[in-house]
Structures are given as structure tokens and as C-alpha cells.
A and B are shown apart, each in its own frame.
Chain A
Amino acid sequence: MFESLALGFAVALSVENLLYCLAGVALGTLIGVLPGITPLVAIGMLFPLTFTLPPIPSLIMLAGIYYGAQYGGSTTAILVNLPGETASAVTCIDGYQMARQGRAGPALAIAALASFFAGCVGTLLIAFVGPPLGEWALKFGPWEYCALMLMGLVASAVLAHGDAVKGLAMVALGLLFGVVGTDVNSGVVRYAFDVPELFDGIGFTVIAVGLFAVAEIASNLESGERREAFAAAISELLPSRHDLRDASWPTVRGTAVGAVLGVLPGTGPALSSFAAYMLEKKVATDPDRFGAGAVEGVAAPEAANNAAAQTGFIPTLTLGIPGSAVMTLMVGAMMMHGFAPGPQAMAEKPELFWGIVASMWLGNLMLLVLNLPLIGLWVSLLKVPYRWLFPSIVMFCCIGVYSVSNNPVDVYLCAALGALGFLLARVGCEPAPLLLGYVLGPLFEEHLRRAMLLGRGDPMLFLTRPISLAFMLGTGLVLVAMVWPALRRKQ
């Protein structure tokens, strides 16, 4: 196990790759911290930048962008009380209070340190749990894969926030988008309408940028959201020894909570940061301080959030089932480089697999090194008005999508999907399940067809093979959890 980690570090630690990682973290934070840009938008608009690189440096840079963007989200949560995504919503509560007391510096530093600690633990967990899980998954037949994917898809739709029925419908729509293009089994071109650009399917970049960047800008503009930069002076930059002592145990507990919850599909970081915050409030001797700028209230959720993000990579990398929207973006980007995460990938391309794991950790480290000295810069970035930002994001989207194959049709499609995504978001349909359905769709169909063929058309095999049955029961459980409140109310 340590050999594999060593292999990973050998890959990730070349000067060139370190520079890419650094560039990724810097860019990710830079974009992620800009007002009105969530981590998803930041990753969505930046990842086309990595396409020109060879696979390993590009994935390393992507990992850097990922961590940078996540941290950028926490920064806006602390400084302007606006969470970049649900995961950092809890950080707002105490982080913003700390900032109002002029302690934005310590809050940001504690957030970074807690994240780093959680990231270290998470990386070790991947190295410990990944290989046995991957080996176990190698025994999976098509039935198990199908059932597992079904569980992941249903869970991501039901457990994510929002209306569960709409989430499930979005998954189905995503699966349908995944169907477009040449069918690998028969060579039939489906739903391409004689547009040659669609013969290979709708590009991942097109969908991701359209749904997450374009649609999001339109939504932001429509709701007329205003972000006022935090004006109070920052009196201290570094946390005191007292702060560090107060934050240490919450960090450990938050990491534990996040590491466990992160593995579950669909729950992801959001639930874990909330759970960690509640736990801290329970164990605290004076719970009243929470909500008034308690260091623990920043450390625990940030640690949980990052630990969950890290352990979320376990199902993502070993089974190929991403647990959250950001993770789905990462998987899609990996697939564009010919690296389809899953048990086979771990066995066949260990240098890529462990290189990614190692660069995750490096990304965390870079964050600490890069961001603490630059807090002042991030604060000033928060003052950039949105009317300058959004045309620039559109520019990034246009160039990024166009550059994939120098084809204007991709840009047209992206605009259309952006409009569709905007409409769907406007009526309460979150785009994340759609993206997951789209990414897993082709694999799901392939395994389903193989399972039915091998089983001579007998669907009962899904319920008689033990591992497959377990996943099916898991799916059922999630669905029951969705219906349960209403059944109870009826009685």
C-alpha cells in the first residue's frame, strides 16, 4: 500500500507536475473566490484549459483547480457570508461572524489548516481502503455494476437537495443525453439527426459548461444577486495558539464524521459539514458561542467537508461511481483523457491512479502554502463587480468549448444546453443528477445489455446474486426514505 502511494508521489513530484498543480490551485482559487462564481462554475470553465496537456499533468492540474475552487468557496463563505456551494453553507455561520470581528485572517487560516489535516487523513484512507475495494469490485459481473450504478443514480437524485422526483427525472434525461451518438454494440447512430458533430455523442465539455457555467450565470443575473464585499478591516492574520488549541479536536471529530459520510453516494460534503457542526454544538461545554464566531464552528465543518470530498474519491476512483456534482465533473474530465475510473483502471494504470491520489494531497498542501500569504489579495478580488465578471466567464466558456475540436457546432449546442439548464433550474430541477446520468449512461446501458444477454433475458438475476441484491436493497432503501415521511403523515 505504501509502495503504491510512493509510486503516486514519484509520478506527481516532478518539477513540471508540481508547477501544474500550483498553477491549478492558483487559478482555481482565483476564479473560485470571485463573487458569484461557485466551485462548480470555476471547475466547469477552467477544465477545458487542461485539455492541451498530456493526461498526468492535466489531471494533476485539475486536482489543483478542484481544491483551489473548493477553498475559494469557503473564502467567500467567510468573507461575504455567501457560500459557494451547500457544503460551505455551515462555514458561513461562524466564519462570517469571525470576519465581522476582524478575525477573517484566523478564520481563513483555520479553515485551510483543518482542510489540510482532513485531506491528509482522507488520502491515507484512499490508500488503505481503495485497493481492497477495487479488488472486490473486480469480481463484479454486469449485474453488480448495473445495480451499483442504479443505487448511485437514485441516491444522487433523492439525497441531494431539492425535489426528489425532479431529480429522478433529471437522471433519466441525463441517461437519454448519454445515448446520443454511435451505439458501441451495433454501430447504429442514435439521435444524431444527421449532424456529424453528434456522431460521437454530445461532448462532455458541452454539457458540463452549458449546464453549470452558462445556466448558472443566467440564473445569477436573473435573480439579480448582489454581493457586497466585506469592508471591515482585518486586524489579525494568523490564528493564535489559543485558536489552534480550540480548533484541534473539532478538526479531528469533523474529519471522522466527514470521512464516514463522504463515502455514501449522493450525500457528499454538504451533509457531512452540517453533521459535524451539529456534533460540535452537542459536545461543546458552552454551545452559546456557536453562531457568534466560534473557531470550532469553522474548523469542524471545513474538516468534515474536505474529508468527505476526499473519501468521496473512494467510490469515484475504485468503482467509477461519483458521489457529487463536482466529482462527476472530475470523472468526466478524466474520461476525456482516456482514463475511465474503476477497478480495471486501478489495476491497469496504477501510475495514473496513484498519481491522482498523490496529487490530491499535493493540491491540499499547495493550498496551504499559497493561500495563507495571499489572503489580502483574495479579499480585494471580492470587490470585482459581477457585470465585469459574467461576460468574461462567457468568453472562457466559448473558447473552452470551441477549443475541444475547433468546431462552432459545439458552441451552439452549449448555448442551447445552457438555455435548457436555465429553464430547468428555474422550475426547480438541479442540474447535477442530469450530469451524473449522462456520465454513467453509456456504461449503464452496456452493462444492462450484457447482463440481460448473459442471463438469457432473466431480470431475476439482479435479485438472486447476493452483491447485486445488496445494491438493489440499498436502492430500495433510498426510495423508501423518500416516500417515508408522507406514509407516516397519512396514518
Chain B
Amino acid sequence: MERLLRDLVAGLVFAAFGAAAIHFVREYPLGTAMRMGSGYFPAALGWILIGFGAFLCVRGLWRWVPSPRKAKQVGGLDFVRDDRAPAPAPAAAWNWRELTWSVRPVACIAASMLVFGFVMPRLGLIPALVPMFFVAALGGREFRWREVLILTIVMTAFAVGVFVMLLKLPFQLFPGFYLV
């Protein structure tokens, strides 16, 4: 099941990108093979991505569907070296509890970056870093707010020292307050 989902999700992601590429390529001139327009290359890539996506979906299903007749010739579509990658994924079951655990770190980290990007140009570096640290830290397995507070203070001081004072990046620290 795990393997089926891995192939299916990967295939669907690739196919989706391919389909999007082809959908939006209509606005750009295709040209001919000899004089390729700006749409030719991305359109070709779009079709290639759809092809790979479809292949991965079919392969995933093919390997998954159990059939005594197929068991012998499973090598047929199996020519690709298996997912032997030292993949970051543990052999976790895809139950809901595990799924929330899979999604939580990435959601927290992405959210913390969004917060940083939103606050930084408006209020400055220090007001942006404080919520960034707290939101990011929520993505960890344990959240100890006292520790996060100390970490935030130390690292914010470090960032001001290195990025603003040493590398002289023209960042606003607080609204209307600049060092450089």
C-alpha cells in the first residue's frame, strides 16, 4: 500500500505539473521544430511529464494488484531499480495519526516562513523573527516554550550581529529603526 501510494502520488504530481504546463502554454507561440517558438520546449516538457506521471501510476497499480498469473512475470514492468533509496520515509502506515504527524512539521515550517515574509517588510527583522521561531518550533515533536523563548532571543541577537552589523544588510530592525 505504501509503495502504491508513493508511485501514485508521485505520478499525479508530475502529471499535474505537465497538464498545467500544457494548459498555460497556449498563450505562447509554438513555432515549428526548425524555428521553435517560446512555447515549444515547455509544451514538450509538459507531455513528457504527463508520460512519466502516467507510467508511475500504471506501474504502481500493476505492482499492487495481486494476481497469481502475474506473480511469475512481475519483472515485466519491474525493470526500474526499486525504491531502494535511503528514503526519508519510514515504513509508516498511512493512518490518520501518522498522516497528521507527517504534515505537521512541513506545515509549521512553511507557515513560519510565510509569517516571516509577511512581517519582515512591514515591521522589520526582530518582529518578524519572534513569531517565526515560535511557529517553526511548533513543528517539532516537543515544544518547551521557555526554551523556545531563550532560543529566539539568542538567535535574534546573533542574526542582528551577523547579518546587519557584520554583513551590513540594510534591514529594518523595528518599524523605522535601522542600524545600517
Contact = CB atoms under 8 A, between A and B. Distances in A.
A65 to B, nearest CB: 14
A224 B80 contact: no
A489 B76 CA distance: 9
A485 interface: yes
Nearest to A487: B79
- Majority SS at the chain A contact face: helix
Nearest to A446: B41
B67 interface: no
Contacts of B56: 165-166, 169
Given A172-B52, A214-B109, A395 B159 contact: yes
A240 B55 CA distance: 57
B100 to A, nearest CB: 11
A220 B84 CA distance: 18
Contacts, number: 243
Contact of A486 (B39, B78, B125, B147): B78
A387 B169 contact: no
Contacts of B112: 391, 394, 398
Nearest to B83: A428
A456 to B, nearest CB: 6
A391 B151 contact: yes
B90 A486 contact: no
Contacts of A411: 113-114, 116-117, 120
Contact of A457 (B7, B32, B83): B32
A194 B120 CA distance: 23
B42 A222 contact: no
A473 to B, nearest CB: 20
B177 to A, nearest CB: 16
B141 A173 contact: no
A278 interface: no
A368 interface: no
Contacts of A399: 125, 159, 163, 169
A132 interface: no
Nearest to A489: B75
- Majority SS at the chain B contact face: helix
Contacts of B133: 391, 395
A402 B117 contact: yes
B87 A403 contact: no
A27 to B, nearest CB: 10
Nearest to B121: A408
A179 to B, nearest CB: 5
B38 A185 contact: yes
Interface stretch (A135-143, A318-326, A348-356, A412-420): A412-420
B9 A427 contact: yes
B89 A169 contact: no
B89 A223 contact: yes
Interface residues of A, number: 81
A6 interface: no
Contact of B42 (A179, A214, A427, A485): A179
Contacts of A224: 141
A445 interface: yes
A388 interface: yes
A482 B168 CA distance: 50
A427 B49 CA distance: 16
A453 B37 CA distance: 11
Interface string A397-436: 1110011001011111011101110111111111000000
A398 B142 CA distance: 23
Given A179-B41, A427-B10, A398 B80 contact: no
Contact of A449 (B36, B76, B118, B155): B36
Nearest to B125: A399
Interface in B60-100: 73, 75-76, 78-90
B155 A426 contact: no
Interface of A: 49, 52, 86, 161-166, 168-169, 172-173, 175-176, 179, 183, 185-186, 188, 190-191, 214-215, 217-224, 386-388, 390-392, 394-395, 397-399, 402-403, 406, 408-412, 414-416, 418-420, 422-430, 445, 448-449, 452-453, 456-457, 459, 482-483, 485-487, 489-490
The 10 closest A-B pairs by CB, nearest first: A486-B79, A457-B34, A411-B117, A162-B85, A221-B105, A169-B52, A408-B117, A219-B88, A415-B113, A218-B106
